Structures are given as C-alpha cells and as structure tokens.
Structure 1
Amino acid sequence: MSIKLAIVMPAYNEEECMADVVKIWSDLLDTEFAGENTRLIVVNDGSRDNTGKILDEIQPQYPKLIVVHQPNGGHGNAVVHAYRKAVEIGAEYVFQTDSDDQFIPEDVKKLWDKRTQSDFILGYRQVRHDAVFRLFITRILRWSMFLVYGTFILDSNIPFRLIKGSFLKKLLEQLPSPTPFAPNIFIAIMAKKSGQELFNIPIVHKERLTGEVSIRKMKLLKVCWQSFKELLNFRLELNTKIKKLK
C-alpha cells in the first residue's frame, strides 16, 4: 500500500514540546487521514538537549513515526533531509511543518482540499507572532525576491506547505548544492516560476511558548545577507532549472 501523505518536520532543542507535537500531528493522521497509509518524519538536527532521547523513547507508541538523527546542519539542511526521506519512501504527498508548536494541524485541510489544483501549495501567516526584527527582515527578503526574480510570494519560507511527492523529487534535483541556508525559499521560487498556483492560504500562527529561536538579531541579518547572495547567484541558473521541472 503506497504512502498517501508524509508529514515532515525538523527538530532542534525542542524537548519542552517534542512529545506533545508528535502526539498532535500523529492524532491528525489518525483522525483526518484514517484508513490511509501515512507517516510522520521527524529529523533531529543534532539537538543539544533531550529532544533526540524523547523521540527515541516515544517512537514505539507511534507506528507511523519515523525518527532520523543527524549531526547539526541547520534548519534548512534538516528540512531537505526530511524531504528526501519522504521521497525515498514514496509518499504521494509531502507536508512540511516545524516542531515548535506554532501551527495548528487543522489548517492542513485548507491546503489538502486544493491538492488537485496545484502540485505546490503554501500557507500564509497573515498574523505572524515573531519578533519585530524578524518580521522586518522577512519584508526586506520578500521585496528583494520580487526585484531579483519578478516573483511576489507572501510567505516564501513558511514551514507550512503541501507538495506532491513527484514534483518535490524534481524540485530537490534542481536545488543548488551545497544546500542553501533557506532551501524552502528556492523551492517556492522554482514552483512559482514553473507555473504552480501557490494559493497563499491564510493559516493560524501561534505565539511560541517553549524553546528558543536559534537565530537572533545580527546573526539573522547575516544569514539573510547570505541568502540574498545565494538567490542572486541562483538567478543565473533559474531558467535551466525551470525547464527541467516541466
């Protein structure tokens, strides 16, 4: 029986909410996708706390849970690793979210209902509960993408997206190497440029109650500059990449 849906998420130092997050998303698979063959893939990105230990301890409770441990490589690297695992197991659809408990699983249905209309669908944090500095950087990046690519995407890096597995495989094959700092931005740009209808569906974004943001202020500014340079370089290859997606 083929896998209908794989939910993938990176995890880093989320010991306070990891068990709850796994339960919440596992319950979604059991209720909303009852009777379907589904998986929840969590990539532990070299957590320094008990996140990895907690995942190993609770795994026997959740038959659909796949735990992957990797050395710390950053959020983007963990996301790509999770994507590749979902493609490897043959998931028909792949949904990506984060493990920080800032989204509500019920919103997945808003994207799922559009799955026959597009191979790539994004959520959009209409009300976003993040620090002001982070919101400011996000706006700069949004308009930078528009200037560089002529592509306006409301929330290009959002960790709340539904992708058809066969299309995701093609996207991963065209992703620059080494993995960019923010691969979800590159994937969103390629999807949009290839003609996919992203929809930008408004979803709930909750305030973060546990853990801590791993990238702050000046470091965030630094990595955004790095991402912008990566995007500039990628512009030269984009047309060739897009042709291979069709």
Structure 2
Amino acid sequence: MSDKLYIIIPAYNESANINELINSWYPVVERHNGNGESRLIIINDGSKDNTYKLIQNAEKDHPLLKGLTKTNGGHGSTVLFGYRYAIKNKADYIFQTDSDNQTNPKEFEPFWKLRNKYSAIIGNRSKRKDGKQRVLVEKILLILLRIYYGVHIPDSNAPFRLMKTSLVEKYISKLPLNYNLPNVMLTTYFAYFHENIVFKEISFAPRGGGVNSINIPKIIKIGYHALGDFRMLKKQIND
C-alpha cells in the first residue's frame, strides 16, 4: 500500500461531466491511497464555464482531490502540466484519463495489478464508440508512426494509461514544453526504445455530456502540424 498514485485528468468546459467524473474516479484513488499521499488531480484548462468552481466545491468533501487551474493551452499541454506536477510531487505511478466519462473506472484494477510486471500499461481501444472520424485519425497516426519510427503499436493515444513516474520522467524532456500530442509521443518513445510496456484492451464509450472541443478543422490542423513534429522529433530522438 506504499505506492503513491496520481490520477491526472485534464478538463475543459466539463461542467456537465465533472461531478460524475469525480464520483466515478475518487473511489479509485481512495483504494490506492499509498501512505495517505495518493491524489486525484483534475486540471482546469482555462474553462469558460464553471468547471473549476465545481472542482473547488468538490474538494471540500473529497480530501484526496486536488484541483489545479491554468490558462487555456489545449489537451496536450494540460496533460504535460499534470505529468510534471506528479513528477515534482514524487508520485510513484501516474494514471491518465480524460474528463468526458468515456473510460470506465472499473477497468483500472487489472491495470494496477500489472504495475510490478510492466513499466507502463496502456489502453487499447479496439472497439471505440466515439465516431468514425476519430477512429480514422488514430489509424492514420499509427501508419505515420510506423513510417517515421518503425514502431508497431495498436493504440498510440489512449487516455487510459498507468505509467511508472520514473518512466515518464525519462522521456518527457524530449518533448516541447506544450506539445499537443504528448501521449502519442510517449507511447512511441516507450516502443522505440523497447521499454517494458504492454497494451491492454479497454472499453471506450461515447462522450458522457457537454460539447466535444475537437472538430474536423481542428483534426486537420493537428494532423498537419503532427507531420512536421514527427520529422523534427525523429531527428532528435537519440539526443
């Protein structure tokens, strides 16, 4: 019970989901409260609604919940903010998921049981229910990663991943400060450098509520920038 777990969740305009999210994930951190220092960390990414206020209200009755807030920078920069916070606070394990209630907290335990066998256990969304467009984007990403880095992975960007903090710390410095696809590249680095990782099947439901901030123009823009980023990061991969 000595393992210190930080569950990292970015949130943007999630007032419709945030209370359900806290009620779903808080019992997980309670069960794995190593030395009384495990935390559920929800990071408000400059929401325009009352997401952060709801987090602050929930803190009163959830002592292991920690709400953080920052100026809006996008999902990737917020995930990195959370990872760096976990590293700074000397968590043993980082678990990352998202705030739209598409992932199932009941699937956490099988990941946790594998933590001593693998350095990272990463979700594999082979049956996604979040739309054909996002499935297509992930397939294109996997093809590009195979071309640029020679890695064969089933899911690069799943927001359901348990990682040793030491492993994240080992590779996070390779990424730009506010890189928009950190989970994609961390997964790629883990595979490229033959770290001891495993992919495990998870369910992935439709969005629980609220408005999806990712649309086709944003997807095209992210994809365009990703091509240049992959070329640049490949050149620097052994630095």
Contact kept? 1:44, 1:51, Cα under 8 Å:
yes
Structure 1 match to 2:143: 143
1:57-72 alignment runs, 5 A limit: 57-72=57-72
Alignment of 1:66-105 (within 5 A): 66-105=66-105
Aligned residue pair count:
238
Identity %: 33
Secondary structure in 1 matching 2:48: coil
Determine helix, strand or coil for the equivalent of 2:122. Answer: strand
Shift of 1:33: 2.2
8 Å CA contact 1:110–1:201 kept in 2: the answer is no
Unaligned runs of 5+ residues in structure 1 are: 241-246
Q: Secondary structure at the match of 1:40?
A: strand
Give the secondary structure class of the aligned counterpart of 1:61.
coil
Deviation at 1:3, TM superposition (A): 5.8
Amino acid at match of 2:191: K
Q: Does 1:194 align with 2:193?
A: yes
- The equivalent of 1:165 in structure 2 is 165
CA contact (8 A) 1:137 1:221 kept: no
Gaps of 5+ in 2: none
Q: SS in structure 2 opposite 1:127?
A: coil
Partner residue in 2 for 1:244:
none
Partner of 1:155: 155
Structure 1 partner of 2:216: 217
Given that 1:6 and 1:86 are in contact with CA atoms closer than 8 Å, whether structure 2 keeps it comes out as yes
Kept in 1, the 8 Å contact 2:33–2:39? The answer is: no
Relative to 1, partners in 2 of residues 1:178 and 1:168: Cα closer, same or farther, differing over 3 Å?
Answer: closer
For residues 36-76 of structure 1, give each alpha carbon's deviation from its aligned partner in whole angstroms, at most 9, with x where no partner exists: 53111111000111101111111111111111100000000
Matches of 2:127 and 2:159, distance apart in 1: 15
**Please, what is the CA RMSD of the aligned residues?**
1.6
1:106 equivalent in structure 2: 106
Cα deviation, residue 173, structure 1: 2.2
- Any conservation in 2 of the 1:119–1:163 contact (CA below 8 Å)? yes
After superposition, residues 22-61 of structure 1 pair within 5 angstroms as 22-30=22-30, 32-33=31-32, 36-37=35-36, 38-61=38-61
Shift of 1:102: 0.6
Q: CA deviation at 1:192?
A: 1.3
The TM-score normalised by the length of structure 1 is 0.92
Equivalent AA in structure 2 for residue 167 of structure 1: L
What is the alpha-carbon distance in structure 2 between the residues aligned to residue 119 and residue 174 of structure 1?
A: 18
1:221 offset after TM fit, Å? Answer: 1.4
- SS across alignment from 1:195: coil
Q: How far apart, CA to CA, are the structure 2 residues paired with 1:35 and 1:88?
A: 17
